[in-house]
Amino acid sequence: MTTEIKPPLPPFDKESAIKKVRMAEDAWNSRDPERVSQVYTEDTIWRNRSEFPRGRKEVKAFLERKWRKELDYRLIKELWAFDNNRIAVRFAYEWHDDSGYWFRSYGNENWEFNPDGLMQGRFACINDLPIKASERLFHWTLGRRPDDHPTLSDLNLQVTRYAPERDLRSTKDNSGKFCFTSFYETRPGIIWLPVRVNVSC
């Protein structure tokens, strides 16, 4: 049986962690579920929003659904922290749905790798911010982000702050759950994100 190896390998230093993050960004910007799924272990464990794929087969199916929904997808990832075989990443990506509505999705990921450099755990929290087409920041030709394209920090997308006092609305959805939606505002250097939290009655 051939051993799969995906360098750089843990334990990571800053240089190898940055390289690992860029390689992951490049793979996801390919929007190729087969290519992306190959960097995870056969028994990889995920949490992505409210979905919990297990293993490569489920990861690939998840990605196929994702990119059927998220059109003209462009992603930037950035290293947040690293230690031994773990890397923390923050990211943003822009996309539109099949009705032409644009979004910028902000997220954080925690990654854990096996000794061969395959990701055995991925845990992601993501918030979608509706934007106008004129507010888009990612315009490169679909595929790999050019080396000279600004990073998240260059674009001043580095600070996220929660402000529940701004506006908190409570409604009841069809499932009988109370839904609290807090709204955020945009200021220079600060990203305010909408968050929806469902609480069972």
Instruction: Indicate yes or no: pTM above 0.85.
Output: no
Q: What is the pLDDT of residues 7-22, one digit of tens each?
A: 999 999 999 999 999 9
Q: Model confidence at 189, in pLDDT bands (50, 70, 90)? A: very low
Q: How many CB atoms lie within 10 A of CB 27?
A: 17
Q: Which residue has the higher pLDDT, 169 or 114?
A: 114
Q: Which residues contact 54 (CB under 8 A, 6 or more apart)?
A: 43, 44, 45, 46
In this structure, what are the phi and psi dihedrals at residue 108, rounded to the nearest 5 degrees?
-130, 145
Query: Which amino acid is located at 7 in the chain?
Result: P
Q: What is the pLDDT of residues 143-165, one digit of tens each?
A: 999 999 999 999 988 544 433 43
Q: Model confidence at 96, in pLDDT bands (50, 70, 90)? A: very high
Judged by average pLDDT, the poorest of 69-83, 109-123, 172-186 is 172-186
3-state SS, residue 166: coil
Residue 87: pLDDT over 90: yes
Residues 25, 30, 34, CA angle at the centre, nearest 5°?
105
What is the model's pLDDT at position 158? 56
| Average pLDDT of the segment spanning 103-111 | 97
